[in-house]
Amino acid sequence: MVENECKCTFWEDGKRMNHIIPEQRRTLIYNLIQQRGSVSVQELADLSGASISTIRRDLDELARRGTIERTHGGAILTLAQQTTFEPGYKIASRMFTGEKAAIGRTCTDLLEQGQSVIFDSSSTVYQAARAVVDRKFTMLALTNDINIAAALANSSSIQLKVIGGSLRPGSYTLLGDPGLSFLNQLHVDVCLLGIQSIGGHLMGNTGDAADGTLSDTSLEVAAMKRAMIQAARKTVVLADSSKFGPPAFSDVSDFSTIDVLITDSGIKPAQKEALESAGVQVIVAS
């Protein structure tokens, strides 16, 4: 990955990095290490605009948590952690906010009045829920996310059903039964799905369609997403371009279950090509 690609995908510009909170910067650093496998302190300082000492402190903190290993002058992934890492909800909701809002707005162009729609637990899908309320849709909405449920509850024209389960620690996500059993009985029009990783090792680099998978960070999350996909006639994945890369811990499905992907302009031509060759409609939000 060349420096310009790193800036565009993770850092955007040094000025922005100087104004974000330390925890968000550490998450962005981890994402870059996850994509590249290793990185030097100097590279991170050059890309972020942060000082060498600040970057070292960030890497030391990530190493303390066990998500990376420090090397002389840099860091590498800790293999035991690389597929299960996921930023906390508050951090995720502050990352790529402009892209997520645009994806959420674009998503509503695919919806129709009176449909039944599943809203997966995702900071990007949350933006779609807000857009649905703003556009005064009439629909039956189902979600396993407490925050999304609260947003949808602001509309008197939306009939809301919360998919039950156990609250995932550190999140607003409900997983497991009775939600899984409930979903297995349903036939809904559309599923709006968030995802932790699109593709795989090859997909992140070359766009090889044979490597096409959706994956997430835990067996429980993956099981819930599979049930949502199976319950819907149409599945629309909402994901910013940072989600392309190495697979997360647990497979959700292959590309054959996706009808549409809405993402941002950071998607690479090879990635778009791979998805389209697998029959997925790719929409770039603006």
Question: Is 82 a domain residue?
Answer: no
What radius of gyration, in Å, describes the C-alpha atoms of the chain?
A: 19
Query: Are both 217 and 105 inside the same structural domain?
Result: yes
Tell me phi and psi for residue 189, to 5 degrees: -75, -50
pLDDT > 60? residue 16: no
Are residues 119 and 228 both part of a single domain? yes
**Judging by DSSP bridges, how do beta strands 260-263 and 281-284 pair with one another?**
parallel
Predicted confidence at residue 109, as pLDDT, reads 97
- Same domain? 116 vs 146: yes
Token duo for residue 93: 């909701």
Secondary element (H or E) of residue 283:
strand 281-284
Q: What is the mean pLDDT of residues 225-239?
A: 98
Q: Are residues 133 and 268 in the same domain?
A: yes
Tell me the residue ranges of DSSP E strands in 120-265: 139-143, 158-162, 166-167, 174-175, 188-193, 197-198, 213-216, 232-238, 250-254, 260-263
How remote is the C-alpha of 78 from its chain's centroid? Answer: 21
Q: Are residues 34 and 115 both part of a single domain?
A: no
At which of 77, 112, 137 does a domain end?
77
Residue 113 shares a structural domain with residue 249: yes
Rounded-to-integer distance, Cα 206 and Cα 201, Å: 9
| Same domain? 70 vs 137 | no
Q: Is the pLDDT of residue 171 over 80?
A: yes
193: which 2 tokens? 């799905």
- The pLDDT value recorded for residue 91 is 56
**Domain of residue 243, CATH code:** 3.40.50.1360
Which residues share a beta bridge with 68? 77
Between 280 and 17, residue with greater pLDDT: 280
Judgement on whether residues 22 and 137 belong to the same structural domain of the protein: no
Higher pLDDT, 285 or 244: 285
3-state secondary structure 42-104: HHHHHHHCCCHHHHHHHHHHHHHHCCEEEECCEEEECCCCCCCCCCCHHHHHHCCHHHHHHHH
Average pLDDT estimate for 147-157: 96
Whether pLDDT at 90 is above 80: no
Same domain membership, residue 126 and residue 53: no
**Is residue 136 one of the residues assigned to a domain?**
yes
Does residue 195 surpass a pLDDT of 80?
yes
Determine the average pLDDT of the residues in 261-283: 93
Query: Could you tell me if 113 and 244 lie in one domain?
Result: yes
pLDDT of residue 39: 85
In a domain, 83, yes or no: no
Which pLDDT belongs to residue 70?
86
Average model confidence (pLDDT) for the chain?
84
- Local confidence band at 53 (pLDDT 50, 70, 90 cut-offs): very high
**Tokens 């449909």 — which residue?**
115
Could you give the maximum distance between any two Cα atoms of the chain, in Å? 59
pLDDT of residue 136: 96
In this structure, the answer to whether residues 132 and 158 fall within a common structural domain is yes
Lowest mean pLDDT, pick from 157-161, 221-225, 263-267: 263-267
73-89 per-position pLDDT tens digit: 888 776 544 555 555 55
Q: Kindly tell me if the per-residue pLDDT of 62 is higher than 60.
A: yes
Question: Is this structure's pTM higher than 0.75?
Answer: no
CA-CA distance, 218 to 265, in Å (whole number)?
A: 28
The pLDDT, as a whole number, for residue 92 is: 59
Q: What is the CATH number of the domain that holds 65?
A: 1.10.10.10
Please give the share of the chain, as a percent, with pLDDT higher than 90.
55
- Domain total of the chain: 2
Query: The domain containing residue 31 runs over which residues?
Result: 3-77
Residue 6 pLDDT grade (very low, low, confident, very high; cuts 50, 70, 90): very low
Query: What is the band of 94 on the pLDDT scale with cuts at 50, 70, 90?
Result: low
Residues 142 and 245 in one domain: yes
